[in-house]
Structure 1
Amino acid sequence: MPHAEHVHSRCKPVAGLVLAATLLAGIGGVHASKPKTQRGAFGVAQQQVQTTGDKYFAGEDKVVVASFRVAFGQEVKASAQSSSLFGKSSASAAMHGTLSGLDNEVWQAITDAAHADFLEKLKAAGLTVLEARDVEYGAYGKLAGVSSPAALDADQGKLLMFAPTGAKLTMLPGDTGAGSAFSGFNASSAVQVWPAIIREQQAGVMSVTYYLDFLNADSSGKTQVLGGDAEVSMGQGLSVRAGSGIGYATLKGSQCKGYCPHANGSITLGQAVHSQQAYGRTEDVTKGGVNALGAVSGLLSGRGFSRKDLQIHADPERYRGISERLLGEANTALIDALRQARGD
């Protein structure tokens, strides 16, 4: 069984003499990888699941699942910078990871399994569930879609987004890349079509989006401290990203008059659902770097700039098995929160 690996790039500003970049070999993959803990006000860790608009959830008995999407990370990048308070020395570190060894068939199968599991659990929560195919001849038919899968870009890197087999891949405001042409003011956009579906079906509308990351990355960001390091780390591990989840426009919320904060609700992951299991082989593909990280991991330290490029060669069976389990856990966590908000 392969071991999960954690790779750390650190660059430290120094005054006077320049330290050469040093590769410390032989500290191979001993650290299991975890996603960064998400924190809110005053640095307090967020709850596992966060809800908005939950006062409108009670009494809702029918819902249209108008959109279900899973975006799979293809590339991830992270960087950090540090400057000395009392000198001109500075440091920066950057890491970049790419995923290989998988194809659309694997990602589509994961998406279809997650979608089927979500619908089953939603029905078990006591809701009458209408799928897109049940309402395709009404307002839903006006909804714009793009070919699935669609390549998207985000601050964290590149993504490949899938809809379930036979369903529209709907672009939402905030998506970048394939969906950038669809604005909230377009008559065929979700922002315009969702209210029409609510009126037509006398039911709430859900849109579900999950982001599945293949490397967990962390960074010290931009700092200005005496002797501070610029630190970036990446480790192999799959996770359903914090912020993934359900947008829920309820029938009750649509009927609210006057001041109606959070009339369009949400149920999202406050913390990532993750696994520390390795699912493939990590290779250092930095130009001039040490390869085969199964044997060697490393720490880069020096003045100026440090960089490391990683490639994960995924085992399709392991990747699929872990991904389906994590998405199933995310479905359970979100729908359990919905049950509680409904008073079930």
Structure 2
Amino acid sequence: MTAPTVAWAGDDAPVKVQGKDAVKGASQVAIAAFNVGFIFESTDQTKASGGLMGAFGGATKAKSSLVGVTPAMMQSIADAAYADFVAKLNAAGLTVQDPAAVFAAPALANPHGQQPPVEIGIQLEKGSKGKATYMKPTVLPTLILLPGDFTGSGMSSIGLNMSAGQASGALSNYAKAAGVPVLDVTYLIDFSDQKRPGAFSFGGLEVNANLSVTPSYSRMTALGPNGKTVTVTLNRGVSVDGDFVDKQDASSNLDKTTQAAANVGGGVMAAMGFGGMRFGKTRKFEFTAKPGNYEQGATKAAALANDQMVGQIVSLR
């Protein structure tokens, strides 16, 4: 069932809506893109907690990697999430155009898409970077990214940004020619939830095993036949707890020994009155996906995000 639409205010809203009228009065839609991205590597950096009265200072960095997710696993998640999205649109009274007919239209002779998997170095929140792999449902012939669907990091994203701009024009032309709104959905699924520590935490970062559709980087764009555009962006993450991955500390013994020596040195210097000695920490974590469990968790997270997106379409039309 589609989640009911709820009125929220400001930053408390689960989604951020920009634009209007793109889907007003619509009885059918075309889905040109439904992308599911998976974060496999991420580096998160935060200021140290100031444990031991601020003796250590510095910054804490957590490097995380996910292994064990096969292309077949990613494909099954993308297919299931897309099927759920279509079913919820239908339940809301919207007919979804046949993808084969959509992409056979002259306006989409060149949709400026990519063949998956598409790997992108992405810029996450300040101080954080990651590597993501994007997949599409089997039923869609190409993977289309629109401007704003990703925040690229590095030279490799320049070509993707150019294609995204051209794709936006192609989809807008189709919407006008067909007289129906065109939808582009992009979700980014994270495999870890990093929380800020308390003031006296030695850890610096706590990495919890759960799966979430990441806020700000997960969104839906609706291109209307009237030239209007609506963008719905997740303002809060959609998270699912469960036994989806195994986590182990992948820091080498050398890393730990060096860090321990730095910490002791920082404490001694602080005791001698030399506060402000800053020794950052680097912790490495490796996550191994549990087959079956991982797909179930990621699909559920995407389905919860679908509830938010379909609810907004119903409200806006």
Relative to structure 1, the CA distance from residue 228 to residue 287 in structure 2 (aligned partners, 3 Å threshold; closer, same or farther) is: closer
Cross-structure match for 1:116:
83
Kindly provide the amino acid, as one letter, of the partner of residue 251 in structure 1: P
Kindly provide the amino acid, as one letter, of the partner of residue 77 in structure 1: T
1:311 CA displacement: 0.4
Query: Over residues 199-222 of structure 1, what are the superposed CA-to-partner deviations in whole Å (9 max), with x where a residue is unaligned?
Result: 2111111100001000012458xx
1:337 aligns with 2:312: yes
* 2:241 match: secondary structure: coil
Cross-structure match for 1:173:
147
User: Which of 296, 302, 325 pairs up with 2:300?
Assistant: 325
Q: How does 1:184-333 map to 2 (within 5 A)?
A: 184=162, 189-219=166-196, 231-243=204-216, 244-252=218-226, 254=227, 263-288=228-253, 303=266, 304-333=279-308
Relative to structure 1, the CA distance from residue 289 to residue 210 in structure 2 (aligned partners, 3 Å threshold; closer, same or farther) is: farther
Cross-structure match for 1:105:
72
Q: Which moved more, 1:109-118 or 1:191-200?
A: 191-200
1:75 aligns with 2:41: yes
Cross-structure match for 2:110:
142
Query: Over residues 287-343 of structure 1, what are the superposed CA-to-partner deviations in whole Å (9 max), with x where a residue is unaligned?
Result: 11899xxxxxxxx9674121110001111111011111111111122212221233x
Relative to structure 1, the CA distance from residue 188 to residue 209 in structure 2 (aligned partners, 3 Å threshold; closer, same or farther) is: closer
1:96 CA displacement: 0.8
Q: TM-score, normalization: structure 2? A: 0.77
Cα distance in 2, alignment partners of residues 83 and 340 from structure 1:
43
User: Which of 41, 45, 49 pairs up with 2:15?
Assistant: 49
Kindly provide the amino acid, as one letter, of the partner of residue 225 in structure 2: L
Relative to structure 1, the CA distance from residue 290 to residue 236 in structure 2 (aligned partners, 3 Å threshold; closer, same or farther) is: farther
Count of matched residue positions in the alignment of Structure 1 and Structure 2: 275
Q: TM-score, normalization: structure 1? A: 0.71
Structure 2 segments unaligned to the other structure (5+ residues)? 1-8, 124-128, 257-261, 267-278
* 2:207 match: secondary structure: strand
Partners of 1:173 and 1:182 within 8 A in 2: no
